[in-house]
Amino acid sequence: MKDKIFGVLQRVGRSFMLPIALLPVAGLLLGIGSSFTNATTIETYHLGKFIYEGGVLYTILDIMSKTGSAVFDNLALLFAMGVAIGMAKKEKEVAALSGAIAYIVMNTTISALITAKGGVEAMAENSTTSVLGITTLQMGVFGGILVGLGVAALHNKFYKTELPQVLSFFGGTRFVPIVSTVTYLIVGIIMFYLWPIVQLGISKLGVLVLNSGYAGTWIYGILERALIPFGLHHVFYMPFWQTELGGSMMIDGNMVAGAQNIFFAELASKSTEVFSVSATRFMAGKFPFMIFGLPAAAFAMYKTARPEKKKVVGSLLLSAALTSMITGITEPLEFTFLFVAPLMYAVHCVLAGLSYMLMHILNVGVGMTFSGGLIDMTLFGILQGNAKTHWIWIVVVGLIYAVVYYFVFYFMITKMNLKTPGREPDDVEPKLYRRSDVNEAKAAKVKSTDKRASDVVSAMILKGLGGKDNLSDVDCCATRLRVTVNDASKVMDDMLKASGASGVIHKGNGVQVIYGPKVSVIKSDLEDFIDSPYSDDPDSIVGTEKASDKIEEKPQTEGAENTETNGKTITLYSHMNGTAVKLEDVEDDVFSQKILGEGAAVEPSEGKLYAPCDGKIDSVFDTKHAVNMVSDDGVEILLHIGIDTVKLGGQYFEAHVSDGQEVKKGDLLISFDMDKIKAAGYKVTTPLIIGNTDDYASVEPVAQNSVSAGDMILKIK
Amino acid sequence: MKTFSYTITDEVGIHARPAGLLAKKAKEFESVCTIEKGGKSVNITKLMALMGLGVKQGDTVTVTCEGADEDKASEALKAFFEETL
């Protein structure tokens, strides 16, 4: 169970990467834009001449600030969609759509309930916000994650659900947005009653903090960090910054309440000699860990990333670290490890709390507009002078913090093998199945399950469409599977009808197979099947006893039998003019001992290599002395001119085909200067090797003595 | 799961001969062994795919073995790479 939760958290963390990659840019826009449009900043530094409302510079900065802010304001929506995409197993675009819808539905539900209760005024202070123009409860990113996770779970459960025939248009992926809407309507109602209780608890904590001195400052710091992922930090710190909870003070004859207000009043006042730390204790603690600590943590994550991932991870971490350092926007960095390593985040919270307390003890009086980056430290610390602010302690503590963060993170990551960015296991390619997976699947196939039945249908469809390699595109509309194939002549209508289709329509290379409204489920099954290893050989499923039973259940199966290709013999034709040589007699043990596979060889009489069958070029070696191709029947063929000729580095060879090219039997593939190659000391014996020999019952050479290109050379069963 | 990275020193890279030997070596083990280069990962026992990677001198590849005898497989393949490539 613990492992399972941990695994889910890791996937959530990974699914965050998409929206997170946007945050550093948004953070810079917001940080720079808002710092220099802040009325206090402008006034303090007499920038009014250049930056004034309506002026060009102001407008540019304002646009920066607002666009950056738009990303942060809608972060919850981005996470609702991002997490849904990341956690959905298939048909991810449907999950994204459902995530967006569910998020809007949930907030709209809450909004309606707020109105019913008497509007924002009836709610606790700072507990509401506006999201996408909807007045709703302040739930922060937590709201988005709640939606993303739930929708992904619904999606994975229902995206293949079949509904009764009458309603089947609404089945499969179309059912996901529907069920998400209904579910999140209910979730919205629950949250309306539940969330204010959580919020109340948080603001009670605030009172506790205020009454406990240095320790209170520490707790304040820890909580402020710990609440970030839940979006509750605003509920928590805003009262300190903006209300008498953060203290009140008489400045120049005016009563000022709230930590931030006090700081800025002092900043504006000519009579301030030292900034009151009783106010800045709720702010100054951010500087050491945002400017020094977190970037050092990022460096530790970079150092512990796998070597081949460093480049990619480096750019993500560097931009996130710079954002934290310059603007004091830490989410991009914190979210990279929050979900993959919650324990590390907990340590970070404790250290952050300690930073607040140290700033309090050391009497550091630096405030901020909204966060603790270099911009604010410069404007409100350094430029105010050390005498007033004691800002130098930020640097002293900060440097220690950098060392502590680096070693703590480095140690935790390596000792606990935490999967921070660049350390996660590679996403296994869809085709690479573990042996155990295959065995499980085989076992499942033997046992009678629904899964097998749908696989049989999928296998029949795939076979009817001419096999996996014949597919170029698969899609569906309300009732039809719409497929684009490479070769329309390979489509077998009978087989498709046997799979349950009521009709097949051909239009050039386009094929429409009519299944009725249940088609979206059929399509999902088919896609799953195509991703599975069996799809390379649908016969293995269709050809089994069980499958033929299945076929016989259907009335329109006549003709399905004769499409059976099991036991068919595939013939390859000589790739050269010359003399046939047994593979055993080739003077290279890699070939003669059949390490590469069975096959046959030709001692050429002419420097030309031809295609032994119809097929597709998989790859031409850079050195042009060998070609891999796949026949239309799926035989993997290696044609290798000469022995050790790789050492010629391409000299004396000329390729006439390129990777991916379709070829017909007898097409010229490579020409080569036989005499010069021989003169260089190499043999030109040319084996033709079946790379996937294991897939066949027998590979039998049939040519002897002299052969011409196009004569039969191998029979494969 | 066992993983190691290796930078090819052999001047002609993984052409037919080493590919054949490498695939043969990998087939001795029950574990599924894959090789990754430049984001593309293939099963080592699939000869054509292996050759299709076009691994050359100076390329860094990552080999991953997963299965019951992954330790042995990984060691054997590593030894093979060091000796041959």
Q: How many CA atoms lie within 13 A of A261 on its CB side?
A: 19
Neighbours of A400 (CB within 10 A): 14
B2-84: CATH class? alpha beta
Q: Which residue has the tokens 């602010």?
A: A389
**Average model confidence (pLDDT) for chain A?**
80
> Given B20, B46, B54, which is nearest A596 (Cβ)?
B20
Distances (CA, A) of A590 to A4, A66, A578, A585, A683: 47, 67, 22, 11, 15
> Given B30, B51, B52, which is nearest A435 (Cβ)?
B30
Q: How far is A628 from chain B (nearest CA, A)?
A: 7
Return the CATH fold of A443-563.
Gyrase A; domain 2 (3.30.1360)
Does the pLDDT value for residue A565 go beyond 50? no
Q: What are phi and psi of A212, to 5 degrees?
A: -130, 30
C-alpha dihedral (A683, A686, A687, A691), degrees to nearest 10: 110
User: What local confidence, expressed as pLDDT, does residue A561 receive?
Assistant: 35
Chain-chain contact of B54 with A621 (C-beta, under 8 angstroms): yes
Q: Give B-chain residues touching A619 at CB under 8 angstroms.
A: 48, 51-52, 54
Chain-chain contact of B16 with A647 (C-beta, under 8 angstroms): no
Does the pLDDT value for residue A553 go beyond 60? no
SS (H, E, C) A111-127: HHHHHHHCCHHHCCCCC
CB B64 within 8 A of CB B1: yes
Q: Give B-chain residues touching A434 at CB under 8 angstroms.
A: 32, 66-67
CB A617 within 8 A of CB A657: yes
User: What local confidence, expressed as pLDDT, does residue A449 receive?
Assistant: 41
| Closest B-chain CA to A622 | B54
Q: How far is A541 from chain B (nearest CA, A)?
A: 22
Q: Active-site residues of A: which are they? A: 477
The whole-angstrom separation of Cα A663 and Cα A668 is 9
CATH number of A570-716: 2.70.70.10
Closest CA to A358 of A214, A212, A237: A214
The amino acid occupying position A632 is: D
Chain-chain contact of B47 with A596 (C-beta, under 8 angstroms): yes
A679 CB-near residues (< 8 Å, 6+ apart): none
Q: What percent of chain A has pLDDT over 90?
A: 15
The whole-angstrom separation of Cα A98 and Cα A639 is 51
The whole-angstrom separation of Cα A630 and Cα A220 is 66
Q: What percent of chain B has pLDDT over 70?
A: 100
* Size of chain A, expressed as the number of residues it contains: 717
Closest CA to A160 of A649, A637, A529: A529
Chain-chain contact of B48 with A692 (C-beta, under 8 angstroms): yes
Q: Which residue has the tokens 């399972």?
A: A4
Q: Kind of pairing, strands A134-137 and A128-131?
A: antiparallel
Q: Is A477 left (phi over 0), alpha (psi -120 to 50) or beta?
A: beta
How many contacts (CB atoms, under 8 Å) link A and B?
80
**Cβ of B37 under 8 Å from any chain A Cβ?**
no
Beta strand extents in A207-263 (DSSP E only)? 248-251, 254-257
For helices A75-87 and A2-15, the axis angle rounded to 10 degrees is 120
Chain-chain contact of A590 with B36 (C-beta, under 8 angstroms): no
User: What local confidence, expressed as pLDDT, does residue A300 receive?
Assistant: 94
Q: Which residue has the tokens 């002609």?
A: B12
Q: How far is B7 from chain A (nearest CA, A)?
A: 11
| Domain residue spans of chain A | 443-563, 570-716
With an 8 Å Cβ cutoff, the interface of chain A facing chain B consists of: 307-308, 425-426, 428-429, 431-436, 588, 590, 595-597, 618-619, 621-623, 626, 628, 630, 636, 638, 640, 646-647, 649, 691-692
Read off the tokens for A669. 């593939």
**Cβ of B48 under 8 Å from any chain A Cβ?**
yes
Does the pLDDT value for residue A255 go beyond 80? no
Domains A443-563 and A570-716 share a fold: no
pLDDT tens digits along A469-505: 888 777 776 677 888 888 888 888 888 877 777 778 7
User: What local confidence, expressed as pLDDT, does residue A426 receive?
Assistant: 57
Q: Which residue has the tokens 């077998």?
A: A492
**Averaged pLDDT for residues A49-61:** 83
User: What local confidence, expressed as pLDDT, does residue A487 receive?
Assistant: 82
Read off the tokens for A44. 């303090």
Q: Report the sign of the C-alpha dihedral through residues A462, A466, A469, A475, in that order.
A: negative
Please report the residues numbered 17 through 36 in chain B whose beta carbons come closer than 8 angstroms to any beta carbon of chain A: 17, 19-21, 23-24, 30-32, 34, 36
Closest CA to B1 of B36, B53, B51, B52: B36
Q: Is A27 helix (H, G, I), strand (E, B) or coil?
A: helix
Chain-chain contact of A626 with B15 (C-beta, under 8 angstroms): yes
Q: Report the sign of the C-alpha dihedral through residues B51, B56, B61, B64, in that order.
A: positive
The whole-angstrom separation of Cα A226 and Cα A460 is 54
